[in-house]
Structure 1
Amino acid sequence: MKKTAIFILILSFFASCKDEELKVKDDTRRVRTEVLHAEEIPKIVHGTGILSSKSQVKLSFKTGGVIRNIFFDEGQFVKKGQLMAQLNLSEIQAQVSQAHLAVDKATRDYHRAKNLYTDSVATLEQFQNATTAMEYAKSTANIADFNLAFSSIRAPASGKILKRIAEENEVIGAGYPVFLFGSTENDWVIRISVADKDVIKINYNDSANIQFDAYPGKLFNGRVTEIGTSSDPYTGTFEIEITLSETKENLASGFIGKVDIITSIKDKVVKIPVRSLVEADEKTASLFLLNENKAELHKAGIISITRDYILAIPDEKLKEGAIIITEGAGFVRNKAKVEVVK
């Protein structure tokens, strides 16, 4: 904001140089004026966030063991279903073999018990126990088969390896992440945190403009797809998710983005030419209004600044139709008489 104030003062200085063309006549300053116009602009909510894939997951093994192979490095792209990493399967395959041998034995015991029960040699309880043992053995085998299948990591979708956490020959525990994976089949999103006074202004599908340091000067478009319904217990802010529109640019998870959300709530503002300013700071700007051929000093609250105009908060005097002194203001005193020239 300090740089902005300096910028305003520099523009005001050049405008005052032009004021020298307007000479004094009978102690009355000659000035040029403009009629102020009011307009409505959308409220903008600003924020900063980190870009990520909509679907960003940690991939891990279902069981623990020694990592035998890791086939991809950080930053590489994979296709859906590709084998990404695998444990040493010696121990797990042995457990699968044991489980299936147990099924074979339990099945034989079941048939034997069934035949004996049919011949009234075995009791009903013995037959039921053999049936239960067979079903239990089958369930154990299913668990072993499941663990074997998830002793390898396959890409759940086409995407990019954002981070490789483990290395080959490491002993890794069940559920410990090996990769941080981001799907490229889903959208890119950026999440920002806003205060409670701002979250109530935002609606679903509000448009947003995003700028990344990686692409200076380029504007990316997006829309609001999620609005937090409860505040962060530590910061008291609410999380807003913006989904980026499709782009051909090469984006990467972790980009820092500056976000401007264009809300549906309108602010009424007046446009003040920069050349009319006589003084300015971070929040206010001083200017002269024309009131019955006299210059009246007035302070305006600044909303935003463009190259040629300041957007200011309207008030009782600073409103649609008010007349502002644009040239000659640098040499006018408050309540001084002025003469308007074309």
Structure 2
Amino acid sequence: MKHTALLLPLTLLLFSCGSKPQQEGIDSTSIIPVKVMPLARQGGALSITASGQFTTDDEVNLSFKTNGIINNILVKEGDPVHTGQLLATLNLTEIDAQVQQAQLGFEKAQRDYQRTLNLHKDSVATLEQLQNSKTALDIAKQQLSTVQFNRSYSAIRATQDGYVLRKLANAGQFVNAGASVLQINGARNAHWLLRIGVSDKEWAEVKAGDKATVETTSLPGETLPATVVRKSEGVDAQSGTFMIDVQLQGPKPAAIATGMFGRCRITSGNTSGNGAWSIPYEALLDGNGSTGYVFITNDNKTAQRIPVTIAGMEKDQVLISQGMEQARALIISGSAYLKDQSSIRIIQ
């Protein structure tokens, strides 16, 4: 009887110890219900949207070859011009005097050479004197050619059919050689471009030949087909972005002018890897420029917080280019209550 009495409390103690792990099981209230979506990469196309200004690929600033006072400017901003048309002239008083001076110097050099040549034939002048006289004649001839050339560029003529974009000086104003007086383009024949600024990430994704569409407020409801034709090889100092030229296809629309703003959407197939993931906006956390975080799960029991690289934006989706290579499912609901390694329960 004594042995039985001692065994009973021991049995109860062992039973109590054995049942403790069951009481210390996972609290069901710490499991967070979430919704998930399976992950699949798109077929390698990214959509990049940016704004810019319309321009042409042949804008040119016209100037005089020499210093002087502007005598007349024969066109106004917006005027059409044709190749060879006289656009502006300088006061020629000074340049004509220089031409006359060079002409007189050349004529004197000719007389001196002829006199020395005759004296050399009579053995009065030496060969060295004849050669020096010939050199002086050649120098005078080149000086005359120079001032005649400068005089011909004391007038500005149109280099192509197009339009006057800007008038940068006025009649009566003194201008230095090479100072811009007029800016024209070849809009009658040229290809129109939308010049846009993009980030370094977007610049890397775009390549020449990518298709694009262009919209502008001057053509409401219209979408213009375009193609990427050029990428800058350096950052623009003023905007801090990389410039991309998108060329409109087909004839120039009447409602587009240089400097007008437009919006472009480029479809790029130059993404790294095999494409991008398209995820809902609400699944992205702490987005900052091209980086952010998402919660994923590979076992449907535990949430993992991982960094991702943002490649672009669409109407209601975010495009992710890197970070989810090993993920099976993305958590799209309940992220606000999650931490890394939180226990989850999948709900429909």
TM-score in same-fold range (> 0.5): yes
Query: What is the match of residue 238 of structure 1?
Result: 242
Query: What is the match of residue 260 of structure 2?
Result: 255
Query: What is the match of residue 96 of structure 1?
Result: 99
Amino acid paired to 2:251: T
Shift of 1:263: 0.5
Query: What is the match of residue 111 of structure 2?
Result: 108
- Equivalent of residue 202 in structure 2, options 198, 202, 210: 198
Structure with a larger share of its residues in strand: 1
Amino acid paired to 2:80: F
- Counterpart CA distance in 1 for 2:182 and 2:253 is 25
Amino acid paired to 2:201: K
- Counterpart CA distance in 1 for 2:347 and 2:275 is 34
**Does the aligned pair in 2 maintain the 1:47–1:259 contact within 8 Å?**
yes
- Counterpart CA distance in 1 for 2:103 and 2:158 is 29
Amino acid paired to 1:241: D
- Rate the CA distance shift 1:119–1:44 in 2: closer, same or farther, 3 A: same
Deviations 1:38-62 (A, max 9, x none): 8647201222211111111111111
- Counterpart CA distance in 2 for 1:312 and 1:125 is 82
Shift of 1:269: 5.6
The reply to whether residue 224 of structure 1 matches residue 234 of structure 2 is no
**Equivalences for 1:54-203 in 2 at 5 Å?**
54-184=57-187, 185-203=189-207
Shift of 1:132: 1.1
- Counterpart CA distance in 2 for 1:89 and 1:76 is 25
- Rate the CA distance shift 1:48–1:121 in 2: closer, same or farther, 3 A: same
- Counterpart CA distance in 2 for 1:196 and 1:318 is 27
**Does the aligned pair in 2 maintain the 1:117–1:127 contact within 8 Å?**
yes
Deviations 1:261-311 (A, max 9, x none): 111147456799xxxxxxx85958xxxxxxxxxxxxxxxx995336xxx68
- Counterpart CA distance in 2 for 1:49 and 1:311 is 22
- Rate the CA distance shift 1:282–1:187 in 2: closer, same or farther, 3 A: farther
Sequence identity percentage: 33
Query: What is the match of residue 35 of structure 2?
Result: none
Farther off after superposition, 148-157 or 243-252 = 243-252
- Counterpart CA distance in 2 for 1:221 and 1:212 is 12
- Counterpart CA distance in 1 for 2:169 and 2:283 is 51
- Counterpart CA distance in 2 for 1:337 and 1:228 is 49
Query: What is the match of residue 305 of structure 1?
Result: 315
- Counterpart CA distance in 2 for 1:65 and 1:270 is 63
**Does the aligned pair in 1 maintain the 2:197–2:244 contact within 8 Å?**
yes
**Does the aligned pair in 1 maintain the 2:48–2:313 contact within 8 Å?**
no
Greater RCO (Cα-Cα under 8 Å, separation 6 or more): 1
- Counterpart CA distance in 1 for 2:134 and 2:243 is 55
- Counterpart CA distance in 2 for 1:270 and 1:108 is 86
**Does the aligned pair in 2 maintain the 1:220–1:244 contact within 8 Å?**
yes
SS in structure 2 at match of 1:148? helix
For structure 2, the residue ranges without an aligned partner over 5 or more in a row are: 1-37, 286-309, 332-343
Deviations 1:233-260 (A, max 9, x none): 6765322122221234122110112121
Aligned length, in residue pairs: 268
What is the root-mean-square deviation of aligned Cα atoms in Å?
Answer: 3.4
Shift of 1:205: 0.9
**Does the aligned pair in 2 maintain the 1:207–1:261 contact within 8 Å?**
yes
- Counterpart CA distance in 2 for 1:271 and 1:167 is 58
**Does the aligned pair in 1 maintain the 2:55–2:257 contact within 8 Å?**
yes
For structure 1, the residue ranges without an aligned partner over 5 or more in a row are: 1-34, 273-279, 285-300, 320-333
Q: Which has the larger radius of gyration?
A: 2
